[in-house]
Structure 1
Amino acid sequence: MAKLFYRVFALILVLSLMLPTAAMAQGDDIVNFTILHTNDFHGNLELSGSNPGAARVAYVIKQIRAAKAALGQSVLLLDAGDIMQGSLLSNIQKGLPTIDYYKTIGYDGVTLGNHEFDWGQTVLQQRYNQAHNDDGDPTTKEFPFIAANIVLKGTASDCASAGWDLPTFVTEPYHVYEIPTATTTPLRVGVIGVSTTETPYITVAEATAGLCFKDPYESILHYYDALDAAADVIVVLSHNGYNDGGYGYGFTVYGDQTLAQKLNTAGKPVNLIIGGHSHTDLTSATMVGNTMVVQAYYAGRRVGQVDFTVNRTTGAISMAWTRNVVSTTGNEDPDIKALVDGYVNDTDYQALIKEPIFQTNVEIIRNYNGDSLMGKMVNDAIYNELNNDVETANDVDMVFNNPGGLRADITSTDCPSFPCTVTYGKMFSIMPFGNQTVVGTMTGAQIVELLNQSATLFKGALQVAGIRYKFFRYYGGTPAATWAWGAYDIQVWDKATSTWVPIDLNKTYRVATNEFLAPVGQDGFIPFKYFKVESYWGDMLNLVNNWMRNHYNPDVNPSNSPYAETLDGRITREGDDTFDTDPIIPLTILHHNDSHGRLLKTTYQGYTQLATII
């Protein structure tokens, strides 16, 4: 933390004799200012459920600003990442309306979350350019993208040896803001940004190609001395989560509390860490030594407020945190409401989201860890669209999708009566990522290994078409962290005979999936590394929409009937997570050591289980 020099005692004594006590207390020696903060806004510009919408968030921000301005105090507005991705209005234009809102309400700076990379670096560069564009509008303000640990890999053999060159969509590793004071010497607030090192593992591989996400602690240390010399107060904008943990990809991911402790232990303390990523709804600030750690929930539901008092004579800094709840029934700021309404009421946008795709007579619901009608609908549509067009080069034996790629259900809220028309807007909310459909090959043994990985439920059960499987997953006992899992009774639909046949370990199958999964195996579905890419066949959402429109929309073809499918048991789970001292576990587990699988032998209270570990 930057240190304010103590004045020489004799000078203080002279000044104390010359100036009244009141003047000493209220003069330039004491500086008060406020930092407002948000995180994980996820493009929630409109009121939706418990998300209050941008106009209500803006009203709270402006009220606090006005109150502080009346006291002659400055306010900084910062955000800890995951700004744009998450709502239909923002996603369709790839974050443009959200950046417009951030400029209009006057953010002073943001760091980058992992979801900033969902649409790739080209789009992120466009949003950077938008945020930094002086459009001549006095009602908007440019703001920097601050990130110290996102660097170019360059020619380095690995990220550990990469340098510190920043990509063009990062403004700077840190920014120093000047807070006006009663004299010509401003108070300097240094803000440094760090993003989660798991970003390359939870986004499409191409989106982070050529980038390194360095260790946040090491990155802060790299810049600390220069920042300390330039600032009186140091703030970290962190998109790493409140607690330790991460998503379990096999390397250390520490949260903001640990980051604060590591910096304190190293003798490089910061005053404040403003967090994001974990959507933590704190009721009070956490103090780690003299470092305050805060976070403001997500989707604009909270506006965090840190009120600083800095004694420039002694160097003492005090902070008080307020959790401002943004009500879904609260007042709306008229300027931001007009801005959002302009995007909502745009005729092209309305025409697009209201375009009818198909009709349904049933709710279509997800199941992250098993069989689901949503997974069936999406994967069957892709399977049928690829196998029934005029192009034979994209014919496939099976389709896989990760459950995390399906983001919404079609429920009675969407369909108060049946038959119900499902629009493009609804379909986009189900599949918002714009992933390309990739077709390639895998052997039967590799597919078995993939389904064994799916059986861990690390990132849910793979949703499928053209293949069906059963799986078990047991957890518990002694030690509590011991697992047993596996896939079995795996069958593939034989199009020639219209029958289900056991998977052949030695056969090469043609597989379709999304570019997030193959060929790099994101979301922990590592066996997709065996996937041999043959070709790409366009946005997966478009494939689904084409099939559903042409086969379940009576307005397109009067012979069509609304969608009325039911579950068919293509994914069957044996048991649950409950530990049983005398379970019956199917041990017909296929494994293949040539695929780099290895067998785990685990003994529980007198019986043995086998499972393949990836």
Structure 2
Amino acid sequence: MEAESGNRRRITKLLIRLSLTVPLLAGMVATPIMHAAVKAEEAASPAAGNAKDGFHLRLLHTNDTHAHLDLVARRMTAIKQLRTPNTLLLDAGDVFAGTPYFTQYEGLADLWFMNAAKYDAMTFGNHEFDRGTATLRSFIRGASFPFVSANVTYGDDPNLGPLFADRAGVRGEAGQIYPSIIREVSGEAVGIFGLTTAEASALSSPGQHLVFEEAVASARAAVSSLQAKGVTKIIALTHQGLTEDQKLADAVPGIDIIVGGHSHSRLVAPAVRHADREPTLIVQAGEHGKNLGQLDAQFNASGVITQWSGRLLALDAMKSDGKPMWAEDAEAAAKLSAFAMVLNQIQRTVVGYTKVTLDGEHAHVRTRETNLGNLIADSMLDKIKSIVHAPDVEGYVAIQNSGNIRASIRRGPITLGDLLTVMPFGNKITAIRMTGEEIMAALENGVSGVEQREGRFPQVAGMRFYYDSTKQGERVDAVSHIREAGHRMMKVQLLREDGSYSAIKPDAMYVVATNTFMAGGGDFYAAMERASDAGRRYKLELLDYEVLSEYLSKIGRVTARVEGRVMDLRGRTLPD
């Protein structure tokens, strides 16, 4: 009977959505832009919260905060002022990794504030798996809210398997994982299910037991199970990026709202799919806790959204008198100070000095050579050459994924805190014996995601290479199986001791300094994984920030610059 009732609701929902007029929807699409201009001090008004016609839902949402806690006390104030009886507070993942707060507290500092703010649910980002499932288990067990995850199989994992309840559409207990949950908001049932990018197995370190399934099929199953329970208002809480969220909205009927993450997209108004039919709204709040997202949606009796308004609230905004738009919550500010006290000594320890700004900006380091990328790769190469003595190899090179470079360093003293902010994952430096052909394959992978600013983009030392981004890039699946070969790598040259360059030899052997994440196949570096599996990886695990710190003390004042190590031809002729 329950399934039959769900079918009747879906049919009614379909009929009613056909009655929506295009002029009304067109007017509503413009509403978020107008609403985004409303002053923050006016935002506490419940607005449509007391609407007599239909059901009003308010969502407050965050994503990709990455342990940036500087504005968290203001976020607490904003949440308290904006929350109404019809509000859900959601996070779309990647709380982990990004600042010394994570290095020191492994997410538990962030969790204190999330618990205090009374989040309703969270899904997992790929970085939640960076320290393995044991660290994530501690985070989950300490949470006062449930987690939603519909496309990950946890059963065989000893840490997360016991926390996963394979029961869809229940209320959900704190510190547990569910495919979906149902929250009652002012007497109305709201379904929430979670999705994590299937690429997490390659982008993070989840171990051997977790299986990341394809998102669309998992979403269809989650929506179907919620509809079978009579739920007509459904939210997808996702961590897969804006492009994939748009595909999801088009491929899976029945999703009303997608609260997304992963692409760090700053959507000042909801992205709307098929507004002329039954609309699906997509929201995302940028990155690093700079914004709090707000979405107000009006549902009719059949669960169709008929009106909406969304905006981002800049938590660092200032009033005309120079005071913050959002005052700090006193309790949260005090707690942040307590967390910060432990870090202050670490952050103040000076380990070097730079005469130039070292560029680690997200948009730069993932698309081109930068001086910070060169400095880090140089430090890795210098360390490995001092340890690994292999007179039979043709040479030594270093390859570092740009996803492991998270911030810039300003000109002046360099502190240990700066290094931990730039490289917050605690990755280890290692070395692999690879042929020239394998190195070229690794670099082909590295430049194949440049258009999407993927973290696999390589920063290198001991060599230079030319590639052509206008040519076909390598296409891989979520487990690094090549679906289509790439043709971007044009020339790779080895730096000689006299400063000259010579062509890399496909059959010759080289020692490659890299990190253990890449050596294990992370960021789709399958060539490195195969070389490691073949027994050609050295048993080295040197902390990356310690390697860089040691190198800084060795070289003195930093004057790193861009040298032409990475060159995109963009369709031009390869130079002689």
For residues 91 and 274 of structure 1, do their structure 2 counterparts lie closer, same or farther at Cα, with a shift above 3 Å needed?
same
Q: CA deviation at 1:363?
A: 3.2
1:473 to 468, 472, 475: 468
Closer/same/farther in 2, CA of residues 151 and 170 from structure 1, 3 Å limit = farther
Which residue in 2 is equivalent to 1:54? 72
Alpha-carbon contact 2:384-2:431 (below 8 Å) kept: no
Task: Measure the CA separation in 1 of the matches of 2:561 and 2:207.
Answer: 39
Q: Which residue number in structure 2 is paired with residue 114 of structure 1?
A: 126
Which residue among 256, 269, 280 is the counterpart of 2:245? 256
Query: By how many angstroms is 1:492 displaced?
Result: 4.8
Q: Secondary structure at the match of 2:242?
A: coil
Give distance in 2, aligned partners of 1:377 and 1:351.
25
Counterpart position of 1:534: 538
CA displacement 1:544-599 (0-9 Å, x = unmatched): 222323x25xxxxxxxx433455555x153x642x4xxx54358xxxxxxxxxxxx
- Equivalent residues in 2 for 1:462-541, closer than 5 Å: 462-465=458-461, 467-473=462-468, 475=470, 485-488=488-491, 490-493=493-496, 503-520=504-521, 522-531=522-531, 532-541=536-545
Which residue is 2:432 aligned to? 440
Confirm or deny that 1:39 pairs with 2:66: no
> What is the rounded CA distance, in whole Å, between the counterparts of 1:501 and 1:285 in structure 2?
50
User: For residues 142-291 of structure 1, what are the structure 2 equivalents within 5 Å?
Assistant: 142-152=144-154, 171-180=177-186, 186-203=187-204, 206-230=205-229, 231-243=231-243, 255-264=244-253, 269-278=254-263, 279-284=265-270, 286-288=272-274, 289-291=277-279
> SS state of the match for residue 175, structure 1?
strand
Aligned counterparts, 1:66-85, within 5 A: 68=84, 73-85=85-97
**C-alpha displacement of 1:474:** 5.7
The CA deviation at 1:324 is 4.2
1:380 aligns with 2:374: no
Verify: 1:360 aligned to 2:354, yes or no: yes
SS in 2 for 1:533: coil
The 3 A distance-change label for structure 1 pair 519 and 306 is: closer
CA contact (8 A) 1:38 1:295 kept: no
Shift of 1:493: 4.0
Q: CA deviation at 1:225?
A: 3.9
Per-residue deviation, 1:469: 2.5
Aligned-pair identity in percent equals 23
Q: Among residues 558, 561, 564, which one is paired with 1:563 in the alignment?
A: 558
Opposite residue 260 of structure 2, the aligned amino acid is G
Give the distance between the partners of 2:247 and 2:444, measured in 1 at CA.
Answer: 34
The alpha-carbon distance between structure 1 residues 187 and 403, as it changes in their structure 2 partners (threshold 3 A), is closer
Counterparts in 2 of 1:322 and 1:485: CA distance versus 1, 3 Å: closer
Task: Give the 3 Å change call, closer, same or farther, for CA 229–536 of structure 1 in structure 2.
Answer: same
RMSD: 3.8
Pairwise CA distance, 1:32: 4.4
Q: Helix, strand or coil for the counterpart of 1:381?
A: helix
Counterpart for residue 141 of structure 2: 129
Q: Which ranges in structure 1 are unaligned for 5 or more consecutive residues?
A: 7-25, 47-52, 132-141, 156-162, 181-185, 244-254, 416-420, 553-560, 588-614
Distance in 1 (alpha carbons) for counterparts of 2:115 and 2:381: 43
Instruction: Between 325-334 and 349-358, report the one with greater CA deviation.
Output: 325-334
**Alignment deviations for residues 281-324 of structure 1 (CA, whole Å, 9 cap, x no partner):** 14245153324312132233443334455666x76764523314
CA distance in 2, matches of 1:263, 1:455: 32
- Residue 106 (structure 1) shift: 0.9
Residue type at the aligned position of 1:283? A
Change (3 A) 1:296 1:585: closer
TM-score by length of 1: 0.69
Q: Distance in 2 between matches of 1:165 and 1:542?
A: 45
1:343 and 2:339 correspond: yes
In terms of fraction of residues, the more helix-rich structure is 2
Is 106-115 or 355-364 further displaced after alignment? 355-364
Is the CA contact (8 Å cut-off) linking 1:196 and 1:239 kept in structure 2? yes
Residue type of the alignment partner of 2:61: H
Q: Distance in 2 between matches of 1:272 and 1:372?
A: 39
**Residues of 2 paired with 1:393 and 1:487: CA distance?**
28
Secondary structure of the structure 2 residue equivalent to 1:352? helix
SS in 2 for 1:475: coil
Structure 1 residue 55: Cα displacement: 2.0
Whether the 8 Å contact between 1:235 and 1:274 is mirrored in structure 2 is yes
Contact 1:455-1:471 at 8 Å conserved across structures: no
Matched, 1:294 2:306: no
CA distance in 2, matches of 1:404, 1:455: 13
The corresponding residue for 2:419 is 427
For 2:212 and 2:252, locate their aligned partners in 1 and report how far apart those are by CA, in whole Å. 19
Structure 2 Cα separation of the partners of residues 113 and 150 of structure 1: 12
Partner of 2:310: 322
Distance 1:291 1:79 in 2: 22
The CA deviation string for residues 370-405 of structure 1, in whole angstroms up to 9 with x for no partner, is 54432332222223233336x869998332212332
Which residue of structure 1 aligns with residue 35 of structure 2? none
Q: Which runs of 5+ in 2 are unaligned?
A: 11-49, 158-164, 169-173, 319-324, 473-484
The 5 A counterparts of 1:300-319 are 300-309=289-298, 318-319=306-307
**1:39-94: CA deviation from partner (whole Å, max 9, x where unpaired):** 22222210xxxxxx1122222221122xx3xxxx3322112222233333344422
- In the alignment, the residues of structure 1 paired with residue 134 and residue 180 of structure 2 have an alpha-carbon distance, to the nearest angstrom, of 23
Partner of 2:82: 64
| Corresponding residue SS for 1:513 | strand
Alignment partners' CA distance in 1, 2:378 and 2:305: 61
- Aligned CA distance change for structure 1 residues 4 and 431 (closer, same or farther; 3 Å): same
Relative distance call for 1:471 and 1:461 in structure 2 (3 A) is: farther
In 1, the alpha carbon distance for the partners of 2:199 and 2:493 equals: 32
Larger Rg over CA atoms: 1
Alpha-carbon contact 1:78-1:110 (below 8 Å) kept: yes
Other-structure match for 1:100: 112
Tell me how far 1:271 sits from its aligned partner: 2.9
**Structure 1 equivalent of residue 478 of structure 2:** none
Q: Which amino acid aligns with 2:250?
A: Q
2:269 touches 2:283 (CA, 8 Å); kept in 1? no
TM-score, structure 2 as length reference: 0.73
Judged with a 3 Å threshold, the aligned counterparts in structure 2 of structure 1 residues 28 and 488 are, in CA distance, closer, same or farther, namely: closer
Given that residues 439 and 511 in structure 1 are in contact (C-alpha distance below 8 angstroms), is that contact kept between their aligned partners in structure 2? Answer: yes
Per the TM alignment, residue 218 of structure 1 is displaced from its structure 2 partner at its CA by: 1.5
| Corresponding pairs, count | 482
